[in-house]
Amino acid sequence: MLSGKEVATHNTRESCWIIVHGKVYDVTDFLDDHPGGAKIILKYAGKDATQEYDPIHPPNAITDNLAPEKHLGDVQADTVQKVEIIISDQDKARRQLFEQRPPLQEILNLHDFEAIGRQIMPEKAWAYYSSAADDEITNRENHAAYQRIWFRPRIMRNMTTVDFSSSILGQKTSMPIYISATALGKLGHPDGELNLTRAAAKHGIIQMIPTLASCSFDEIVDAAQPGQTQFLQLYVNKDREITKRIVQHAEKRGVKGLFITVDAPQLGRREKDMRMKFDAESDPSEVSKSGSDKVDRSQGAARAISSFIDPGLQWSDLPWFKSITKMPLILKGVQCWEDAQEAYDQGLAGVVLSNHGGRQLDFARSGVEVLTEVVKHLGEQRGLTFPNEKFQLYVDGGVRRATDVLKAVALGATAVGIGRPFIYAFSSYGAEGVDQALTILRDEFEMNMRLLGAKTIKDVVPAMVDASNIGLHLVSVPSDALYDTNYESLQHAKLRSIDAKGKL
């Protein structure tokens, strides 16, 4: 039993102890391996880090990653100095706005959750979830691409009943969507990813569990209903034994598909998120008049990440994956037909055409655009037709409406992954928010299947969409400011004005 006083003396880079949930850990050697950087840990050196730790780590993160000899044992609770978490004025205001949420029945579409969430969720959560790479062009293109696809609906078919259930990797789903993996769910809501598990159960939807969940993997699996399907998203660790342990544990716990992330040999820079931190943390005393205090940001980050996500992952690693699991293997983050074809040739179960929600390489194309390319070339080169049971195509990114999903399905996708909208839903309303989001999607599917003239998902065929403009990435000629500001816009007829005495 250690005393808080003793722990408090280990408050330097040379000897750094921290307290989490009443236990003391020596993290001195771990500092440079921390994915979030050493700086944030050092802020709590010798102190109780629980409140900061909780929303962004699963409970077992520290025990799984720290050698047993660094677990120094319990601390005497009453000897530990309270760490006061300072809540920014911004976040105080947000907590107040939280009380003003509209009732759920006024949420009419998936956009609405984001509109509410951005106002009421903690600033840090909003910045983390909403940010994307560089100029965030790809992030928005993911949505814009769907606006270049138009429908060719059919009429006079008996639409009394419609059925939009489907299957993914042989598992049933009530709609052709799945909940895509997103990290750090507790930033937005104390129940984190469990919100998704619960709503998915209710709606017969499959949840993909993220490697970087803030609930532990087992918590999430334990929360599932009997028979509820879950998939696992995997960041491959440099230490393949760790990866093997994770994968085989998942398989044993009943996970039905392994989605290996392949678009993140290095985690993207998200400047909106970084900018927010400066705003939040900026300490006037740090301001340099001489401009000399730049830090070499890249070194640290690259090194830290490389211990968690292996930048060396390559095609020749695939046989090893097949040797350790019987789960279907899917690559998540494929972005051109050549790689999709390689995945097919290597006998994988499918690929997710994704750019990681626009958070990795800016100017990567949208998944739905890549979809049209993959369908065309794998048709020509390998004689495949899609959707295809043996080699399934998924897309994610930018989806907000059931019509978006139906466009992708018409073009050959088996299903579509949706991520951020569900985060915004549970950050605003918990599991009930996700439930409502799925209800909205279900309503939209029913409506739009009827209007498209498709009784079942199989009836949603390529001829129902016009995607001929999908590849047009246009930027207008810059405006002629002098001409445009000279132009006086036309005006409508106007109401007569009326003076205070009621005269016109």
Which residue in 34, 189, 203, 356 is the catalytic one? 356
Work out whether strand 150-151 and strand 71-74 pair parallel, antiparallel, or are unpaired: unpaired
- Only one residue has tokens 């909205």, namely 440
- Only one residue has tokens 């006083």, namely 5
Considering the complex, what minimum distance in angstroms separates the CB of residue 45 from a copy of itself?
21
What is the spatial distance between Cα 93 and Cα 95, in angstroms, rounded to a whole number?
5
User: Which residues touch 311 (CB under 8 Å, ≥6 apart)?
Assistant: 265, 266, 305
| CA angle, residues 261, 266, 268, in degrees to nearest 5 | 95
Whether 169 and 328 have beta carbons less than 8 Å apart is answered as yes
Choose between 1 and 475: whose C-beta lies nearer to a copy of itself. 475
Choose between 1 and 498: whose C-beta lies nearer to a copy of itself. 498
* Residue 337 host element (H or E): helix 337-345
Whether 50 and 19 have beta carbons less than 8 Å apart is answered as yes
Considering the complex, what minimum distance in angstroms separates the CB of residue 216 from a copy of itself?
26
Rg, the chain, Cα only: 25
Considering the complex, what minimum distance in angstroms separates the CB of residue 12 from a copy of itself?
22
Considering the complex, what minimum distance in angstroms separates the CB of residue 223 from a copy of itself?
20
Considering the complex, what minimum distance in angstroms separates the CB of residue 211 from a copy of itself?
17
Is 356 a residue of the active site? Answer: yes
Considering the complex, what minimum distance in angstroms separates the CB of residue 2 from a copy of itself?
36
Which residue in 112, 191, 263, 362 is the catalytic one? 263
What is the spatial distance between Cα 130 and Cα 108, in angstroms, rounded to a whole number?
21
Choose between 119 and 167: whose C-beta lies nearer to a copy of itself. 119
Considering the complex, what minimum distance in angstroms separates the CB of residue 371 from a copy of itself?
14
Is 189 a residue of the active site? Answer: no
Choose between 112 and 193: whose C-beta lies nearer to a copy of itself. 112
Choose between 23 and 473: whose C-beta lies nearer to a copy of itself. 473
Give the amino acid at 246.
Answer: I
Give the amino acid at 146.
Answer: Y
Q: What are phi and psi of 196, to 5 degrees?
A: -70, -40
Which residue in 128, 129, 146, 235 is the catalytic one? 235
Give the amino acid at 148.
Answer: R
Burial of 118 (0-12, 13-18, 19+ CB in 10 A): middle
Query: Which two structure tokens, joined as six digits, stand for 333?
Result: 């983050």
Choose between 230 and 261: whose C-beta lies nearer to a copy of itself. 261
Choose between 19 and 437: whose C-beta lies nearer to a copy of itself. 437
Q: What are phi and psi of 468, to 5 degrees?
A: -65, -15
Considering the complex, what minimum distance in angstroms separates the CB of residue 147 from a copy of itself?
5
What is the spatial distance between Cα 65 and Cα 45, in angstroms, rounded to a whole number?
18
- Burial letters for 22-45: b for 16+ Cβ neighbours within 10 Å, e otherwise? ebbbbbbebbebbeeebeebbebb
Max Cα distance, the chain (Å): 88
Choose between 86 and 493: whose C-beta lies nearer to a copy of itself. 493
Is 178 a residue of the active site? Answer: no
Please list the active-site residues: 235, 263, 356
